[in-house]
Amino acid sequence: MPDRGWWFEEAGGVDPGPPCPPLRGDVTADVLVLGGGYTGMWTAWFLTERRPGIDVVLLEADVCGGGPSGRNGGFLTGWWDELPSMVEMFGPEGAVAACRAVGGSVRAIGEWCEAQGVDAWFTPGGYLEVAATPLHEGAWDGAVKLAADLGCADEYVPLSPGEVAARCRSAAFGPGVLMRDGATVQPARLARGLRRVLLERGVRIHEGSPALGFRGGSRPAARTPEGTATADQAVLAVNAWAARWPSFRGRLLTWGSHIVLTAPAPERLAEIGWTGGECITDSRTAVHYFRTTPDGRIAFGGGGGRASRKLGPALDFDGPSIRRAEEGLRRMFPSFADVPVERAWGGPIDVSPTHLPTFGSLAGGHVHHGFGYSGNGVAPAHLGGRILASLVLGEEDDLTALPIVNPSRVRRFPPEPVRSIGAGMVRRAVIRAERAEDRGRRVSWPIRLVATMPRRLGYHVGPERRRRTGRSRATAEERIRIEGRRVTLRPLRPEEFDAMWRSRLADDETVLPQGMPPAEQLRARIEASGVLSGHRLDLAIEVEGLLAGEIQAFDPPDRELPPDAFEVGIALYDPADRGWGLGTEAMALLVDWLFEARGATRVSSPTHETNAAMRAVLERLGFSPAGTARAGRVEFILYAIERERWLREREEPPEGPSG
């Protein structure tokens, strides 16, 4: 039995519902629905709503809501972020009509839950997209401008870093954009609620009834292990499994997406101000998506799972994908560092060439289908249910006129095995590129070329051909080799700066109002440091990819310095504590290089406490420090005598020593 995830376990504990035994024998109906996820169940709902008494049989291979519908992140979001590509494909009028239709489904699901007594934790907190690296800042500018030009400015509103922080504070977050068509649900509660209501309406649901064969034509029929269902009309609502159907071959990629779930920590959420129920994503292609639960957990997902044409365990649970999701959680929310991850699970998503779902009818008009949600299916599946009900009933309306219904041109991916091999290559390139961007590094052109290949071929998936370079917060890296080890100087990432200040809170003498929450204290100290106003520069020292030290240059408020000088602090971590394995002589060589490369002079001995390992380094450099170890860190102060040279050489890194 597959791991259906925490959502399903929680929903089943509240209301397991009556059994729906497998199909046994031969049955007939007005409408046959294959698939007990959101698309199939919403179709059945709208059919019974619009034609009371209609006879619907629904077949589900597992249990209703046991697949992606009950395992996803529970995001209900609109399509305003897709507006530029939608205008390109559908024109302004068609694009806006589709966006407004799916936005209406976000609100309608909340109204349905209230009317039907389904407690699915519906929370209309809005959808927030943030830049979690400077390289992604303004990634939404084109969509924001286009929405404004089309008279929809209120639908997609850019936010400053301060406005983002007012909704959720993270040192990793820069500016963002808010889509008001945004809410969260407990996805399995919604699915099981739909199942209950359909049973009450007389829909015949048979779980544990996989379709072993299907016949189209004027009397479509599905064969299961123990029976056959025949109907006048059929709806194929099998999502990622549609990739196996000959009629839809080449129209889908199947991709894995995985979620990690923390233990409850409501007090930590209160500290960072994330109490409004917003669903949040970053701006990556292999997107990180995260939301909260009523008991104070974070559910944090990542869309960079395995690409596979085979549906099964590989897409349900992939260890590397889960580890990357947890890494993203820890990077963005360092205050959750000691909050354990209690559960992890995954499942397949169906990715279409347009990154949007399509709905339609096969030749003859008796078999209808919907698929291709591309990771955003909770609200669009509600819209899809309305559309498919209209197609089944033969009704033409505003919904069947949408450009996602029976599109005149159907784009397909390349045939196998090129499709699967190419998807795997692009996935690996995207992961490597976005890991580099997370660290403020430049992406090599071969990796960028492969990652952007789908866009170059005209598909609306993957990163744009030209990644926005941000708004000047990222700087060039400087690389040298010492004793055969790769040493990198790069911008100190916001979450590292955040962690650095957290480690110093106990020793900080800044006077702050009594009773200020810890998160506010941290923010006040960071603001007092000058880093946010541009009066402070911070670099990280990496050895073989591990953080080994920090360099800070700033205008000290309590010292008189020449107008062309910065005060520079260098912190090297104890190799015994950090395990990065750079010996005493090599660390001395590194610091010597820093002196020479930055034009700095040694003007005073350090007064901070240090440990034996670092004492040897400082003595090698001519210092005579005293004291004992303090948190595995040593700090000493230098004066940089050429401020302009510091700034200039951060853009044009000097040659470093080798050896």
Higher pLDDT, 573 or 395: 395
The chain-wide mean pLDDT, for the chain, equals 79
Residues 6+ apart with CB under 8 A from 469: 135
pLDDT digit string, tens, across residues 629-647 = 222 333 333 333 233 333 3
Q: How many CB atoms lie within 10 A of CB 430?
A: 23
**Local confidence band at 494 (pLDDT 50, 70, 90 cut-offs):** low
pLDDT band per the 50, 70, 90 thresholds, residue 524: low
CA distance readout (Å), 355 to 92, 138, 346, 350? 18, 21, 20, 9
Distance CA 416, CA 394 (A): 35
pLDDT at 347 over 80: yes
Check whether 204 has a pLDDT greater than 60: yes
Contact 146, 91 (CB under 8 A): no
**531 pLDDT more than 50:** no
pLDDT of residue 514: 53
Report whether pLDDT(532) > 50. Answer: no
**Residue 613 in this model has a pLDDT that exceeds 80:** no
- Supply the pLDDT for residue 442: 72
Phi, psi of 510 (to 5 degrees): -60, 135
Q: In three state form, how does the secondary structure of 193-230 look?
A: HHHHHHHHCCCEEECCCCCCEEECCCCCEEEECCEEEE
Most confident of 284-298, 310-324, 604-618: 284-298
pLDDT of residue 260 exceeding 60, the answer is yes
Q: How does residue 389 score in pLDDT terms, banded at 50, 70 and 90?
A: very high
Q: What is the pLDDT of residues 32-77, one digit of tens each?
A: 999 999 999 999 999 999 999 999 999 999 999 999 999 999 999 9
Residue 434 reports pLDDT greater than 50:
yes
Confidence of residue 507 (pLDDT cuts 50, 70, 90): very low
What is residue 171's three-state secondary structure?
Answer: coil
pLDDT of the residue at 423: 86
Whether the model pTM is above 0.85? no
